[in-house]
Amino acid sequence: MSTSILDTGIKVVRNVGGFTVGRGSLDHLPQFVEARRTVVGGQSQVVYLIDSYFTKHTELINRLGVRDGDVVQFVDATHEPTTDGIDAITAQIRKQTAGLPATIVGVGGGTTMDTAKAVANLLTNDGAAADYQGWDLVKVPGVHKIAVPTISGTGSEATRTCVMTNTKSGLKLGMNSDYTVFDQMVLDPDLTATVPRNQYFYTGMDAYIHCIEALAGSYRNAVGDAYSRETVKLCQQVFLAEDMMSVQAREQLMVASYLGGCAIATSYVGVVHPFSAGLSVVLGLHHCIANCIALNALAEFYPAEHAEFRLMLEKQKVSLPSGVCANLSDDQYNRLVAATVVHAKPLTNALGENFRDILTDERVIDIFRRM
Amino acid sequence: MSTSILDTGIKVVRNVGGFTVGRGSLDHLPQFVEARRTVVGGQSQVVYLIDSYFTKHTELINRLGVRDGDVVQFVDATHEPTTDGIDAITAQIRKQTAGLPATIVGVGGGTTMDTAKAVANLLTNDGAAADYQGWDLVKVPGVHKIAVPTISGTGSEATRTCVMTNTKSGLKLGMNSDYTVFDQMVLDPDLTATVPRNQYFYTGMDAYIHCIEALAGSYRNAVGDAYSRETVKLCQQVFLAEDMMSVQAREQLMVASYLGGCAIATSYVGVVHPFSAGLSVVLGLHHCIANCIALNALAEFYPAEHAEFRLMLEKQKVSLPSGVCANLSDDQYNRLVAATVVHAKPLTNALGENFRDILTDERVIDIFRRM
């Protein structure tokens, strides 16, 4: 393994096509959509995939520029995407559209945006979602797609993956492909004003946690470091401010989410994400809250960042669930260990190739018990 | 004028399609080029526009993947691009190619990359370069194009413009268009190892100076601020290091140049660039050295940054020309004033709408006299 922070080999990184940023930028969405209709021939349909939260907050929907004949499909974000779920939505959209849509607009958080990315690929590539879990398996470009995030932190708006759990095997793996990257983003901080405070915090910390892990790792490069450093700085400004949900803070967190997503493309995570994955796989916890619970128990690996995280929790008066791994069965603890140590790349990035000398079964279980 | 740092209105920003970063990444260029030949039908020609410096350093050319029938055209970067110069190169390439090339590869600094961008637009848009000086005048997408910077700082690899001086009117203005943005970048720090030290410094400071001006301005947004802040940080790491041309520093400056280019897209410059423009227009100084000379005389507007700049000069043992405006004629001083204060947008950004109350003719001349 290299010791130079710059010698990480070559990566080809695809950027999001473009973006609009600022309060009220959602009002530009209809013109982006109309431009796409013009490109493909005027009368083409548009598909809107929208977080089902907005079935009860319809004022947003009225601003999207939906026309007669367009498809509006709500996405239930209670559970993170599964391959069968993606296939079902794809089939429904195929039924409701004549030919390919001019664009797919994903309005929501990581689950909704990941769904939009996956469906866009499947409309032009034969087969099922599970066929494309992995790296560079998508054969041809998907349908044009636009991200409209309504919560900040996952970086889905910027990344080349869309995470799905395989309904049969349980494998949690995305369609990692240049074709998965959005063509356009609309970053309007007004859209995150109504997010519940705890959820806003947990999701925002996804960007922070990824980047502190990347910066502490041994696989590094100058672009990833730059994005990670700026993401951490923005998160500090947001979560150490008096009000993490001021207009300014919400715009900053939206930018942190985007740049954090850019950082993901050129770096690896560390110890937090593998433990978080264990919590998700064995106990069904959502990714973002699981990250926070994991970091909270990993002070020994990230002492300074852990202290800062505790300060952020306190400053924003956000509470974390505790005792989530108390009184589990031996079988559950063993499954937690297995679901954690399987993540060899990030653990090697953080601890070296012999990470199992450090993360023994006993130590892993001990850490989980503290959560 | 707004006083909120976030209320800058909405901007639609187009990103570079994608990039490769790291030592040796030039070796990936042939595969990018071949991929483009495949997309357009296999036998298509490729155009290489290369800084004429490399006529004497041909080992680079052997690594570009040039095939029989491709066009290799050297660009003389002694002078910055003119509209007539661009038209002449475009005409030459039209003669040497049958149909549109699969891609245009620009290998060099700001002048060469800007030339590649302008020629790519003109091959698909009728008329002459001068017809497209301005904003969003380019009608249809240009030819696919790849940037291979061999010096860092201008940000040309990332921006939506290609600066040209109009041969007839003297107007210095680019083709500002989404179509001007590169499709791909190859960021290989090995390519900047042989740049003369002074030139390396002056050009690198283009990124630094733009971003300190942007951060001191009143027109701001969260994305521009993030890019600018990180660019300044990288420049500090490079130019306050023992050796600004170590492998690590050259990679960091390459990233700073890219992110500084991204920052330009969403921000305005300040007082330095207008004075620098005066030096270029009236005395023919190149953009990057003119920036340095201007900042050196503008301590009263940027005290902290000026002090840091002096420290960088000293640390890297780089010298600046002095007395460049000594003993000019009254007419020349008047032309310097006119060529400076015409830049109302950046000067308003820095000093407010009534900037002429601060920048009186006498004061402007006094500042030039100090250069």
Instruction: Please enumerate residues of B whose Cβ is less than 8 A from a Cβ of A.
Output: 5-25, 27-28, 178, 187, 221-223, 226-227, 229-230, 233-234, 247-248, 251-252, 254-256, 258-259, 266
Number of A–B residue contacts, CB under 8 Å = 122
pLDDT higher than threshold 50 for residue B368? yes
Measured distance CA(A245)–CA(B101) in Å, rounded: 50
Residue in A10, A182, A238 to test binding to B, most B beta-carbons within 10 Å:
A10
Q: Closest to A22 (Cβ–Cβ): which among B9, B24, B187?
A: B9
pLDDT profile of chain A (371 residues), mean per 10:
42 89 93 92 89 93 94 93 97 95 97 98 97 94 98 96 91 91 97 96 97 93 93 98 97 97 89 95 93 98 98 97 94 96 92 96 97 96
**Chain A residues with beta carbon closer than 8 angstroms to that of B178:** 18
Contact (CB<8Å) A5/B248: yes
Contact (CB<8Å) B248/A6: yes
Contact (CB<8Å) A230/B234: no
pLDDT score of A2:
43
pLDDT score of B288:
94
pLDDT above 90 as % of chain B: 85
Measured distance CA(B359)–CA(B369) in Å, rounded: 14
Question: pLDDT tier at B177 (50, 70, 90 boundaries)?
Answer: very high
pLDDT higher than threshold 90 for residue B339? yes
**What mean pLDDT do residues B178-198 have?**
96
DSSP SS3 for A172? strand
Q: Which of A32, A36, A54 is nearest to A44 (CA)?
A: A36
Q: How far is A324 from chain B (nearest CA, A)?
A: 37
Rounded to the nearest 5°, which phi and psi values hold at A18? -175, 175
pLDDT score of A256:
98
pLDDT higher than threshold 70 for residue B355? yes
DSSP SS3 for A50? strand
Q: Closest to A20 (Cβ–Cβ): which among B11, B227, B230?
A: B11
Question: pLDDT tier at B2 (50, 70, 90 boundaries)?
Answer: very low
Residue of A nearest to B188 (CA): A10
**Chain B residues with beta carbon closer than 8 angstroms to that of A6:** 22-23, 247-248, 251
Question: pLDDT tier at B41 (50, 70, 90 boundaries)?
Answer: confident
pLDDT higher than threshold 90 for residue B196? yes
**Chain B residues with beta carbon closer than 8 angstroms to that of A221:** 21-22, 251
Residue of A nearest to B226 (CA): A230
**What mean pLDDT do residues B196-223 have?**
94
**Chain B residues with beta carbon closer than 8 angstroms to that of A14:** 17-18
pLDDT score of B290:
97
Q: How far is A140 from chain B (nearest CA, A)?
A: 12
Amino acid identity for residue A197 in this structure = R
pLDDT score of B116:
98
Q: What residues form DSSP beta bridges with A18?
A: B14
Q: Across chain B, what does the average pLDDT equal?
A: 93
Q: How far is A238 from chain B (nearest CA, A)?
A: 12
Contact (CB<8Å) B223/A21: yes
pLDDT score of A12:
80
Burial bucket for residue B57 (CB in 10 Å: 0-12, 13-18, 19+): exposed
Q: What ipTM was predicted for this assembly?
A: 0.90
pLDDT score of A44:
87
Q: Do A316 and A201 touch, CB atoms closer than 8 A? A: yes
pLDDT score of A368:
98
Question: pLDDT tier at B5 (50, 70, 90 boundaries)?
Answer: very low
pLDDT higher than threshold 80 for residue B130? yes
The string over A14-26, giving b where at least 16 C-beta atoms fall within 10 Å of a residue's C-beta and e elsewhere, is bbbbbbbbbbebb
Q: Which of A361, A307, A357 is nearest to A335 (CA)?
A: A361
Q: How do residues B237-265 score in pLDDT, each as one tens digit?
A: 999 999 999 999 999 999 999 999 999 88
Q: How far is B118 from chain A (nearest CA, A)?
A: 20
* CA-CA-CA-CA torsion sign (B149, B154, B159, B162): negative
Residue of B nearest to A227 (CA): B230
**Chain B residues with beta carbon closer than 8 angstroms to that of A20:** 10-13
**Chain A residues with beta carbon closer than 8 angstroms to that of B6:** 22-23, 247-248, 251
Measured distance CA(B360)–CA(B371) in Å, rounded: 17
Contact (CB<8Å) A248/B18: no
pLDDT higher than threshold 60 for residue B4? no
